[in-house]
Amino acid sequence: MKERRYIFCRQAEWEAWDQWLTAGQRFGSVSPEGDPAGAASFPHRFRRLCHDLALARDRNYSAVLVDDLHRRVLAVHQRVHGSVRPDGSRWLRFLSEGFPELARSEWRVMLVAFLLLFVPLLTFIVVAQAWPECVQLVLSPGMIGEVEEMYSPTARHLGRPRAASSDWAMWGFYVAHNLRIDFQAFAGGLTFGLGSVFYLLYNGLHIGAIAGHLTQIGYGSTFWGFVAGHSAFEMSGAVLSGAAGLKLGMALIAPGQRTRLAALRQNASIAVRLLYGAAILTFLAAFIEAFWSPLQAIPFEFRVAVGLLLWLLTCLYFLLAGRSPRAP
């Protein structure tokens, strides 16, 4: 069919699409032909428009016609997807569904990261009660004196020394400190995963040594009361960052049938999303650490109860969020 004849036959429907786009109607509210009940035929009409574009290219019609159809197809596609899934809902959908589903699907690297962090941590806490001197294998005498001062029952401010004058400034300090640790565990994956393994083990040993030493000398109530509130989010963020790094390392160690670069690109898309979730948890942990954890007026038992509740909610989130309900 000649181009002019083809344009004459299809012009009316193309103009209907233009009117629909200009009117700013939402998908399904009115069809391109003005029929309010035309949502059912919308997919068929859109496929016909895409076919027009493909046909114009195949028949070598003029570049003006091809560009005009291409512009129209892109505009309709953008309008459809923009109205069904508003951009503002993407992060909410990621947090409520995509992120926990992703963490469950990557349970192998999550489990390895969890064990690398928590096994040395819990082991050091237990060993330090029977062998107090073991903490000197990890902590310098200066560091031991510093943590004793920070978590002393007579300390003016529990936790890290107040390096800033306001709680908001301390929140920024905690964010920067924790994100640095998370990024080290993530970027360490580029060294064939060895960096991620090192940072997970090191942080597990470091935290375990501090917790074990402070518990052994009788500062358990101040230390555990301080860390209880933010520990669920902070430790989960560390595990996720380490898992993201291990995902990068796996691409380099075992790329399979792919090249290492192709495997790294594919695994990086997953690892970065894990890191997004870790960053969100780290921000929440820093907020709690700055505004809730230092409050000594709150009873120890209540702070621990809140911490346990947050641990429970965090576990339920990763286990259950995003699961589709089973059909009866």
**Domain assignment of residue 301, yes or no:** yes
What would the pLDDT profile of 55-89 be if each residue is shown by its tens digit? Answer: 888 888 887 788 888 888 888 877 766 544 445 57
Threshold 0.85, pTM exceeds? no
**Domain assignment of residue 326, yes or no:** no
What band does 52 get if pLDDT is binned at 50, 70 and 90?
A: confident
Q: Is the pLDDT assigned to residue 34 strictly greater than 60?
A: no
Q: Are residues 188 and 273 in the same domain?
A: yes
Q: Are residues 206 and 276 in the same domain?
A: yes
Q: Are residues 141 and 277 in the same domain?
A: yes
The reported pLDDT for the residue numbered 168 is 74
Q: Are residues 206 and 71 in the same domain?
A: no
Q: Are residues 252 and 121 in the same domain?
A: yes
The reported pLDDT for the residue numbered 120 is 97
What would the pLDDT profile of 189-234 be if each residue is shown by its tens digit? Answer: 999 999 999 999 999 999 999 999 999 999 999 999 999 999 999 9
What would the pLDDT profile of 147-176 be if each residue is shown by its tens digit? Answer: 998 898 887 777 765 555 567 777 888 888
**Domain assignment of residue 328, yes or no:** no
Q: Residue 46 belongs to what domain range?
A: 3-84
Q: Is the pLDDT assigned to residue 259 strictly greater than 60?
A: yes
Higher pLDDT, 94 or 325: 94
**Domain assignment of residue 265, yes or no:** yes
The reported pLDDT for the residue numbered 130 is 95
What would the pLDDT profile of 108-145 be if each residue is shown by its tens digit? Answer: 999 999 999 999 999 999 999 999 999 999 999 999 99
Range 240-266 average pLDDT:
93
**Domain assignment of residue 275, yes or no:** yes
Q: Is the pLDDT assigned to residue 26 strictly greater than 60?
A: no
As a three-state string, the secondary structure of the chain is CCHHHHHHHHHHHHHHHHHHHHHCCCCCCCCCCCCCCHHHHHHHHHHHHHHHHHHHHHCCCCHHHHHHHHHHHHHHHHHHHHHHCCHHHHHHHHHHHHHHHHHHHCHHHHHHHHHHHHHHHHHHHHHHHHCHHHHHHCCCHHHHHHHHHHCCCCCCCCCCCCCCCCHHHHHHHHHHHHHHHHHHHHHHHHCCCHHHHHHHHHHHHHHHHHHHHHHHCCCHHHHHHHHHHHHHHHHHHHHHHHHHHHHHHHHHHCCCCCCHHHHHHHHHHHHHHHHHHHHHHHHHHHHHHHHCCCCCCCCHHHHHHHHHHHHHHHHHHHHHCCCCCCCC
